[in-house]
Amino acid sequence: MKRARVAYAGAVHDAVPHRDGLQLADGRVLAEEAVVWLPPVAPLGTILALGLNYADHVKELAKELTTGAKDEPLVFLKGPNTLIGHRGQTRRPRGASFMHYECELAVVIGRTAKNVRRADAMAHVGGYTVANDYAIRDYLENYYRPNLRVKNRDGCTALGPWLVDATDVPDPGALELTTHVNGELVQRGNTRDLVTGIAELIEYLSSFMTLSPGDIILTGTPEGVKDVQPGDEVVCAIEGLGRLVNTIVADDAFGR
């Protein structure tokens, strides 16, 4: 089942797909453009994001990385202020020289996980959605340790449009990801190429912290990142999960 959360007529509604757009829980059918799309996960828990989790992306950024073995997943936290929904706008700050999209599979925890073995990890997944976690390379530190200015900017992470039940995704380890900018294909990858897979991530994270329902794991992005500019429409899609549309805007749109 696919579910969304949208704002319409002064209220927040649950919604499901409809051939004419989407259908609210009260039965009303609306065009996709008629509502404000919200992140589909509620209540929202901790947001954990992976860096350098596709080998081709590591190679793509090789000149920026400090040499040395990567003995554990590179994980960082993101605040709830970072999230916006489908068809939202993300600000490119004035003076930035390189800002790029990151199409990612987002794993939503459905059951509390603590000290979970890898063999049992997938039973703790509630669903999946699409994420686009923007980065501004100007602000990155030397060893690609994403600092606050890169990964905790207001509205820097689009999420949605749908939350898809885990039972409807038979093999999350073999999903194609694509990104189009203004209709041009710029990024393509597959979750089979994750350096650290979903079950292994849940085992690792739950070994030192409790994962709770509503927690989100952003699993990383493949190669193909390019600079985006105000006015660009970025569409991140994942097989079986949907198309996440996002627009880049300049500082002026936010009164800055």
Q: What is the mean pLDDT of each run of 10 residues along the chain (256 residues)?
A: 97 97 97 97 96 69 54 90 98 95 98 98 98 91 67 96 98 98 97 96 98 98 94 98 98 83
What is the per-residue pLDDT for 144? 53
Query: What pTM, to 2 d.p., does this model score?
Result: 0.93
Residue among 14, 12, 10 nearest 2 (CA): 14
CATH number of 1-38: 2.30.30.370
For strand 29-30 and strand 36-38, is the pairing parallel, antiparallel, or unpaired? unpaired
Q: Do domains 1-38 and 44-254 have the same CATH topology?
A: no
Q: How many CA atoms lie within 13 A of 209 on its CB side?
A: 13
Q: Which fold has domain 44-254?
A: Fumarylacetoacetate hydrolase; domain 2 (3.90.850)
CB 144 within 8 A of CB 102: no
- 132 within 8 A of 235, measured Cβ to Cβ: no
Q: What residue segments make up the domains of the chain, in order of their start?
A: 1-38, 44-254
User: Per-residue pLDDT tens for 152-170?
Assistant: 999 999 999 999 999 999 9
Cα 96 to Cα 94: distance, rounded to the nearest angstrom: 6
